[in-house]
Amino acid sequence: MSEFRQQSAAARLRAFRRIASHSISSDEGANAILAGSVLLLSCGFFAWVVSTAAKDPTFFERQLIAGMRSSNVDPITTGSTAAPADETGPAIPVPAVVRNGEVDPADYSIVALFESEAVVAAGDELWRVKVGSTLPGLGAVLAIETEAGGTGRVRTEKAVLSASR
């Protein structure tokens, strides 16, 4: 068995010497080395790109954006334009409320009280009010007073609404 390995090793050595003894011109050798280097670097670069993209899918996009020249223009296209100077009125059309008659102060009740806000109701209408808001039939809200337990008062120009539990 060892004789077989020795012959095999000797045969391999002879084959290597035979191949090495062939003369290769310097241009062919340089081209082979260059081609091998380019192939090796290309495979390494491809492996780096694939692994980087797998780890961070937005890496190349961020690098591209970071390399752009900065300017005062917002890169996000929104399609918005400035409103014409002669446009007047509300930005969003609101339907007008048509009431059967004037709302009386006795029709109002407090639905909820917060620190500086209140929700009041009259009939089938709700209002969220703060100090300075105007309620039909009551006038301007002068004060919103809250107490422990969810009780309190809403003072207006014409009446004081009280909430109790």
DSSP three-state, residue 27: helix
Distances, alpha carbon 26 to alpha carbons 20, 31, 33, 92, 162, in Å: 14, 9, 10, 82, 104
At residue 159, does pLDDT exceed 60?
yes
At residue 28, does pLDDT exceed 80?
no
Cα separation of 140 and 156, whole Å?
6
DSSP three-state, residue 98: coil
Of the two residues 76 and 118, the one the predictor is more confident about is: 118
Span 91-114, pLDDT tens digits: 566 677 777 778 888 888 899 888
Confidence of residue 154 (pLDDT cuts 50, 70, 90): very high
Look at residue 61 in the predicted model and tell me its pLDDT: 87
Confidence of residue 48 (pLDDT cuts 50, 70, 90): very high
Mean pLDDT of the chain: 79
- For 53-62, what is the mean pLDDT? 88
Residues 160/149, Cβ–Cβ less than 8 Å: no
Look at residue 51 in the predicted model and tell me its pLDDT: 93
Closest CA to 151 of 162, 141, 159: 162
Look at residue 98 in the predicted model and tell me its pLDDT: 74
Span 135-147, pLDDT tens digits: 888 889 999 988 8
- Give me Rg for the CA atoms of the chain: 43
Place of tokens 């008062």: 153
In the sheet that 134-135 helps form, which strands lie side by side, from edge to edge?
Answer: 134-135, 139-146, 152-156, 160-163
Of the two residues 16 and 104, the one the predictor is more confident about is: 104
The identity of residue 162, as a single letter, is: S
At residue 152, does pLDDT exceed 70?
yes
Look at residue 67 in the predicted model and tell me its pLDDT: 72
Cα separation of 116 and 160, whole Å?
16
**Residues of the chain with pLDDT > 70: what percent?**
72
Residues 133/141, Cβ–Cβ less than 8 Å: yes
Look at residue 31 in the predicted model and tell me its pLDDT: 85
